[in-house]
Structure formats: C-alpha cells, structure tokens
Structure 1
Amino acid sequence: MTDFSTEFRMPKGCPSCGSHLMRVSKARDPDDKVFCASCNSYVCLYREAEDRLDNDHKSQAEDMIEKVTNKDERELPPKRS
C-alpha cells in the first residue's frame, strides 16, 4: 500500500492504538478508506477525515503539528467537494 498511498496526521488518534498518523490512497476520493499507519486498522472514509481536519477543535500546538506533518498536502490533488 506504500506506493499507492499517502500519509497525513489527524487531530484525533486511532481508536485502536492512539497513533495520529493515517494512510489513504493518493487519489483521495471521498469514499477511499483511511487506515492507521501504525496498526493498519480502518479508521473512517476520507470524506469523514476531511470533515474532522476542517472542523475538529484542536489546540494551538496540535494545529501547528498538523500543519508541519500535512505540509505535503500541496503536492496532492485538490480536495473534492
């Protein structure tokens, strides 16, 4: 899955292991499944992850960590509406 996926950081950790690092296909279609990069558990659909990234309340520190970790977002295709 490594060659066809990209990793990003979510504000809320994986329910199974607590890791914030997630993996999704490079296509980033709304119906693509998001998996934990650590334990490979299914977490949610990409459209749900986008909603969490946009709307979940986070501390200033968490916001800064996400901006640094998700900086490769610029290289990915634009989000779909």
Structure 2
Amino acid sequence: MSDFSEEFRMPKGCPNCGNHMMKVSQAKSPDDHVYCTSCNTEVCAWEEAERIMAETPRSESEQLIEDVMNNKKSSEDDDR
C-alpha cells in the first residue's frame, strides 16, 4: 500500500498472524481494502472494519489500547 495509508487498531486480529494493527487508504471509501500491517494480508473492506470496530465487545483494557492507538494516529494526522 502507498504512503497514503492510515494505520489503526482493530479488536479482531489478522486471521493469518493475529496482529491487531491494520492499514487502509486515507480516503476510507467503504470498499477500500484493509490490510494487516505485519503480514500484509487483506483482512476485509473498510465498511466491514467500521462495523467490526463498532459492534465487537471488548474488555476495558482492550478498549483503552484501541482508544490510545486510534486517537494517536488521528492526532498525528491533524498536526500535518
């Protein structure tokens, strides 16, 4: 994926390696592909990733990790 991608953390890990960090194009169109940052496996479409992030129950610690990782990426993008 090009430099025009954004990383984020999903509650559901990659089916290939278990990594939770994913990347998607900055456009975030519903049909954009989401890839694992570790093994580059295509995981799902952005539309499905949004649904997974909204609907997957998480423990409090898992939610805190995601909040920190996903907000950190958003604030770094805002600084540019």
**TM-score in same-fold range (> 0.5):** yes
Query: C-alpha separation between the residues in 1 aligned to 2:12 and 2:3?
Result: 25
RMSD: 1.4
Query: C-alpha separation between the residues in 2 aligned to 1:12 and 1:2?
Result: 24
How high is the TM-score relative to the length of structure 1? 0.87
Query: C-alpha separation between the residues in 1 aligned to 2:43 and 2:3?
Result: 20
The runs of at least 4 aligned residues of structure 1 exceeding 6 Å deviation read none
1:13 aligns with 2:13: yes
Report percent identity of matched pairs: 51
Whichever structure has more helix as a proportion of its residues is 2
How high is the TM-score relative to the length of structure 2? 0.88
Query: C-alpha separation between the residues in 2 aligned to 1:59 and 1:47?
Result: 23
Query: C-alpha separation between the residues in 2 aligned to 1:30 and 1:39?
Result: 22
Unaligned runs of 5+ in 1: 77-81
Aligned residues: 76
